Structure 1
Amino acid sequence: MQIGAVSFTDEGVGTVLDSVQDRGAANAILLSAASWLRGTAGRAHTGFPDHGGQEPDDFKGGAYFRPNPVYYGDTPVKEFQAPEKEVQGFDILADVIPEARKRDLKVYPYYCERYRTFPNPTSIAGYRGLLEIDHLGRKASRPCLNNPGYKGLMHGIVEDWCKSHDIDGVLWGMERRGPLTNTLDGDMPSCFCTHCEQIGHREGVDVRRARDGYRELAGFVRSAKAGQAPRDGYFVTFMRLLFAYPEILAWDSLWTRAHKNFAREIYGLVKWIDSDLEVGMHLWQYINTYDPFLRAQYDLSELTEFADWIKPVVYHTPAGSRFKRYVERHTKSIWGDFTAPELLPFLYKILNLRQADYEGLADAGFSPDYIRDEIRHTVQACPGVPVYSGINVGVEAYDDERPIEPEDVRDAILASYEGGAEGVILSRNYSETWLKNLSAAGDALRELGKA
């Protein structure tokens, strides 16, 4: 079960651990020990379940453990503890691990990247020096994967976890995307900092033309979103840009390789410290399900090179509305030749999905069959590496998302094991989970003889 610090300070360490173990049949906890993502470390903020705090917390993000300064000499960021009043004086590792060990629970701290940094850590001294630079030379909102200071920060966090605490391993969450898919979704293309440009020059990519190409691509998407239809159609115009500026794909390829190499470095660092520690990889649903560009860029078989186990995210009940929104956004981008109801079956076909039609998609969500098929696909791509299905038991539902019910949880667990999963990770965060759904998970696991 994934748990953030605020749940422990709201309810008490023993209460939370007993709940996830007794109700959810959990044998391991994944602690959001560093996060700038409310969804993994804060309270829910669009409604509160039947436990924990019943009002929004003052979520800002940062470290929810006490960093040891000795491990942060390679980064300009020296002070980054989470400032929320709800967690002051609490250390999610030092204060939780002893109680977890009393209950024979395994412990994995984890960090989940985000394609957008939200909230922005503007209060953290030195963080601005880690940010990407966009195609116009402006600071962007995300840290740069090639920036030595950012590498130093993340490597320091992982080393601190592994050397300072009695843990069983680390979960690294891969939820980033490169300049191409960011631009197609209406974001600004990045990164063009000196570190990235040096790599581009070394790899033989014309940096100036890459920057010019992304300027043209960003302009095309901006016009499309403003309703200005290109003379020769949206997709043809997009392809014309790629033919005119092959550096667009080359630059995106450099970024994607850097992203995968970052995960490789995390894996190698953990194994260097202690070869018995496990490294899990959390795989974003946009990579393994929603986005055909990301799915093409991330061959799942590569994960076997830097993961002891894999957690593909398969949140099925909100998937209908989320994928519907993805379709709608991209009819105002490169797929503008389609209406949203026309584009949906096309994307279903190329992504090998079989789900509800456009009008019923948000209410239906994705079916449990989706989970079974997605897990089977991951198992086949990664032979010999255990797959733990990342199912939702409480991802907060926005207005157009179907909230999950106990029968959905049961169906998700059964489908996971049908697909070949060796276990399930109850997600996204204990603070978002209704206790009836946690109990449904435990009941299903006991029914299957898995607990």
Structure 2
Amino acid sequence: MTSRHKPDPAEKFVGIQVSPISFIDEGVETVLDTLKERVGVNVLMLGTVSWLGLKTGRSISHKLDGWPDHGTPEPFTMQGGAYFNPDPRYYQNTLIKDFRAKDEEMRGIDILDLVIPEAKKRGMLVYPELMEPFFKYAGHGSVNSIDIPNLAQVMEVDVFGRRKDEPSTSNPDYRTWMHSMIEDQVRRYDIDGLMWCNERNSPLDQLIQGQAPGDFSEASRAEALRRGIDVEACRRGLIKMYEFMQAAIAGEEFDDGAFITFLRVLMENPEILIWERFWLERNKDLDRELYGLVKWCKPSLPFGLNVWNRNHFNLFRRAQWPWAEQTMYADWVKPITYQHQAGEIWHKEFGFFHQTILRDFDPVAAAAVLSNILGLREAPWTG
């Protein structure tokens, strides 16, 4: 279990994230030969479980970019789910059992059984690629109607006691489901590694985006109490910060300005940071658990982290996710640096700050300061 995979610098790792539907549209041999012979790819990061078009569907940007010169030039009516055949033995301790994809194009097809043998013939590696949250991810062709039985029972709860639209990672059934799903793939298939992506918004993220934060579900409350946290004090503090953020977004004036008022609310309610810290540790716990799970099942199997691009562009997240720490529970990392997203993400992240705590500052000057703090070499802000 303590063994770590140490990549050989002489080995080239040329990976690509690829959707299951591509192999159905174009044929397994055609896709693999094209990727290997024309592009030099030797690692397939295959979306095996997702309700996100970006991971398992066809092009989601065809309205802007047009269709590529290969594949099927029409939208994929993706329903999402598992594109391999889950073994019921692994899901006995969770409510979430029936999550096999029901897409007509993939009916009766196990994508891992389909791709792995042909990839092996060509000396190509196969890494299942998974991303949390699996449900209700904003944009990127996400499925908005999820028909999984019992899923509604594991949802987050916000500070006002309302059900949110993502499952609670503190819920034992949801957490066990993730453990089971990964153990199922690691033990039963001849895979070469696994790539995990964690893209959850923290309470501070949610607040600055104008949302009422969570998670105050029964499972999360119980976990916090076990850690000695005053849950109700944290909830009241977060409500105070929510009220400030809503007022800032609405354009209300503050006697001492938005930034000083933000600091005042934070200092008067330090429980906000206690809850943020609790959430952060629970989130990192999940990454660490999955790393350990993979190593327990197959000690030599590489476990990689696909690191969210918001971690590079958000002041709070940059402080929360240091690179050195992540190397303690990952054999390698893949920072998200997609060229078509970087500018948009920076624009969006700065927009959240400028709409709230930096509302009183000139956007050009504020963007320049934030860029310098984050070590970004960006062009001047133009709005």
Match of 1:92 in 2: 111
- Corresponding residue to 1:21 among 36, 48, 53: 36
Give the conservation status (yes or no) of the 8 Å contact 2:54–2:60. no
1:268-299 CA-to-partner distances (Å, cap 9, x unmatched) read 11111111111111110111x11010110111
In structure 1, C-alpha distance between the alignment counterparts of 2:170 and 2:34, rounded to whole Å: 41
Structure 1 segments unaligned to the other structure (5+ residues):
362-451
Residue 45 of structure 1 deviates from its aligned partner by 2.3
In structure 1, C-alpha distance between the alignment counterparts of 2:344 and 2:177, rounded to whole Å: 35
In structure 2, C-alpha distance between the alignment counterparts of 1:310 and 1:328, rounded to whole Å: 28
Match of 1:104 in 2: 123
The amino acid of 2:129's aligned partner reads Y
Q: Give SS of 1:50's match.
A: coil
Match of 2:55 in 1: 40
In structure 1, C-alpha distance between the alignment counterparts of 2:318 and 2:99, rounded to whole Å: 33
Q: Give SS of 1:140's match.
A: strand
The amino acid of 1:341's aligned partner reads V
The amino acid of 1:84's aligned partner reads D
Give the conservation status (yes or no) of the 8 Å contact 2:309–2:342. no
Q: 1:245 to 1:119 in 2, by over 3 A?
A: farther
- Corresponding residue to 1:320 among 315, 324, 343: 343
Give the conservation status (yes or no) of the 8 Å contact 1:328–1:340. no
Residue 121 of structure 1 deviates from its aligned partner by 5.3
The amino acid of 2:117's aligned partner reads P
Give the conservation status (yes or no) of the 8 Å contact 2:238–2:272. yes
1:124-149 CA-to-partner distances (Å, cap 9, x unmatched) read 11111221111111111222121111
Residue 317 of structure 1 deviates from its aligned partner by 4.1
Matches within 5 A, 1:260-339: 260-287=284-311, 289-339=312-362
Give the conservation status (yes or no) of the 8 Å contact 1:183–1:217. yes
Residue 19 of structure 1 deviates from its aligned partner by 1.3
In structure 2, C-alpha distance between the alignment counterparts of 1:120 and 1:244, rounded to whole Å: 39
Q: Give SS of 1:171's match.
A: strand
Q: After TM superposition, which residue ranges in structure 1, 4 or more long, deviate above 6 angstroms?
A: none
1:372-424 CA-to-partner distances (Å, cap 9, x unmatched) read xxxxxxxxxxxxxxxxxxxxxxxxxxxxxxxxxxxxxxxxxxxxxxxxxxxxx
In structure 1, C-alpha distance between the alignment counterparts of 2:338 and 2:128, rounded to whole Å: 21
In structure 1, C-alpha distance between the alignment counterparts of 2:147 and 2:223, rounded to whole Å: 30
In structure 2, C-alpha distance between the alignment counterparts of 1:182 and 1:315, rounded to whole Å: 24
Identity %: 38
**2:29 is the alignment partner of 1:10:** no
In structure 1, C-alpha distance between the alignment counterparts of 2:72 and 2:360, rounded to whole Å: 47
Residue 122 of structure 1 deviates from its aligned partner by 2.7
- Residue range with higher mean Cα deviation, 216-225 or 259-268: 216-225
Match of 2:193 in 1: 169
In structure 1, C-alpha distance between the alignment counterparts of 2:222 and 2:376, rounded to whole Å: 40
Give the conservation status (yes or no) of the 8 Å contact 1:9–1:90. no
The amino acid of 1:86's aligned partner reads E
Q: Give SS of 1:334's match.
A: coil
In structure 2, C-alpha distance between the alignment counterparts of 1:63 and 1:121, rounded to whole Å: 15
Matches within 5 A, 1:216-255: 216-255=240-279
In structure 2, C-alpha distance between the alignment counterparts of 1:312 and 1:231, rounded to whole Å: 41
Residue 42 of structure 1 deviates from its aligned partner by 1.2
Give the conservation status (yes or no) of the 8 Å contact 1:120–1:141. no
Matches within 5 A, 1:35-434: 35-47=50-62, 48-114=67-133, 117=137, 118-120=142-144, 122-287=146-311, 289-359=312-382
- Residue range with higher mean Cα deviation, 69-78 or 193-202: 193-202
In structure 1, C-alpha distance between the alignment counterparts of 2:253 and 2:28, rounded to whole Å: 56
Give the conservation status (yes or no) of the 8 Å contact 2:310–2:349. no
- Residue range with higher mean Cα deviation, 120-129 or 8-17: 120-129
Give the conservation status (yes or no) of the 8 Å contact 2:310–2:345. no
Q: 1:230 to 1:122 in 2, by over 3 A?
A: farther
In structure 2, C-alpha distance between the alignment counterparts of 1:17 and 1:188, rounded to whole Å: 45
Match of 2:46 in 1: 31
Give the conservation status (yes or no) of the 8 Å contact 2:208–2:352. no
The amino acid of 2:328's aligned partner reads E
Residue 95 of structure 1 deviates from its aligned partner by 0.8
The amino acid of 1:286's aligned partner reads R
In structure 2, C-alpha distance between the alignment counterparts of 1:302 and 1:237, rounded to whole Å: 32
1:334-367 CA-to-partner distances (Å, cap 9, x unmatched) read 22122432321011011011111113x9xxxxxx
In structure 2, C-alpha distance between the alignment counterparts of 1:60 and 1:226, rounded to whole Å: 37
Residue 266 of structure 1 deviates from its aligned partner by 0.5
The amino acid of 2:36's aligned partner reads Q
Cα RMSD between the aligned structures?
Answer: 1.6
**TM-score normalised to the size of structure 2?**
0.90
In structure 2, C-alpha distance between the alignment counterparts of 1:353 and 1:221, rounded to whole Å: 26
The aligned length equals 359
